[in-house]
Amino acid sequence: MIIVRTIPELRTEVRRLRQEAERQSGRAEVGFVPTMGYLHEGHASLMRQAKEHCAVTVLSIFVNPIQFGPNEDLARYPRDEERDLKLAASLGIDIVFLPSPEEMYPQPTKTTIHVREVTEPLCGASRPGHFDGVTTVVAKLFHIVKPDRAYFGMKDAQQVAIIQQMVADLNFDVAIVPCPIVREADGLALSSRNVYLSGEERKQALGLSRSLRMAEEWLEQEPGLTAEEVKSRIRQVIGEAPLADIDYVDILTFPALQALPSGEPVGQAGSDVLIALAVRFGRTRLIDNRLFSRQGGRLCSVK
Ligand code: PAF
């Protein structure tokens, strides 16, 4: 596994491995997994997908300062480079790109990418500027790595919708591959931030995935429920945990992320539907979601 920390080295190595792969097998697709490190099984699933589909795989580990707000957890964001590199090597990743903040931002950036509308609801409302930081760094990474395919987890479903929009609007020559959420056996969605949770907070955080499973059952049994009714039931389930402080519970179309017409049954939505939540436990903010898609005339949960 090649480890590089500078942009010129990364470009050289990607070019070299791409040419080598082309010579050896005629296949030269570069698969890219951008991350902020502190890797877990969710990231591993992205890396496995990239390995399966691409001749050359690149992983980036970069805690991107410009996507954190002034009161967010940039300084205490968990890091473990040694463990991350071991995991990447065990999965057969070809190149790991570990740039410093100075390498990525030698001077404060005067150019940012702002995607309109899809950035406004959900996490965009509670983390102003966050998605501009994400799209800006992802655009930079795409220019640096030049991948054919880039892999993103659906736990950040809004991030996936925004990046797909950016790629379409700005004609990036890369296929975005959304990958399913990976969960612990008890349902908790994997996140690098789960390490912040105390034992009690972690127990109470199970209300997030439980409420989403229940929402799936409600929609199956009562497709006439409106978004307001489902949201209020979800709030009730999560609210049973005394430590839970709900940031948002929302039900929107996907990937446009628009509100469903007021009073209309969720089961009659004309597009895919995303139920998304963000809940704080102490200083830790967790997100989770479930995507529903129409199959055989019925709205079904996408596994
Ligand atoms: O999802 C993440 O880990 C980050 O938002 C990303 C895409 C690596 C950009 O910093």
- How do 30-35 and 56-61 pair as beta strands? parallel
Which positions ≥6 away from 110 have C-beta within 8 Å? none
Give per-residue pLDDT as tens, 148-204: 999 999 999 999 999 999 999 999 999 999 999 999 999 999 999 999 999 999 999
Rounded to 5°, angle at Cα 267 from 261 and 272: 75
Q: Three-state SS string across 201-248, please?
A: HHHHCHHHHHHHHHHHHHHHHCCCCEHHHHHHHHHHHHHCCCCEEEEE
User: How does DSSP classify residue 182?
Assistant: -
179 near 185, Cβ under 8 Å?
A: no
The one-letter amino acid at 45: S
Query: Tell me, what's the pLDDT at 297?
Result: 82
pTM over 0.75: yes
Q: Is 64 in the pocket of ligand 1 (CB under 6 A)?
A: yes
Active site residue 130: no
CA of 193 to the centre of ligand 1 (A): 13
User: How does DSSP classify residue 183?
Assistant: B
* pLDDT band, residue 63 (cuts 50/70/90): very high
Specify the ligand 1 atom closest to the Cα of 34. Answer: 8
CA of 36 to the centre of ligand 1 (A): 6
Mean pLDDT across the chain: 97
Out of 79, 134, 160, give the residue to mutate to test ligand 1, the one with the largest number of ligand atoms within 8 Å of its CB.
Answer: 134
Q: Is 156 in the pocket of ligand 1 (CB under 6 A)?
A: yes
| Phi, psi dihedrals of residue 166, rounded to the nearest 5° | -60, -45
Provide the CA 58 distance to its chain's centre, in angstroms. 17
Give per-residue pLDDT as tens, 8-37: 999 999 999 999 999 999 989 999 999 999
Q: What percent of the chain has pLDDT over 90?
A: 96
Give per-residue pLDDT as tens, 97-147: 999 999 999 999 999 999 999 999 999 999 999 999 999 999 999 999 999
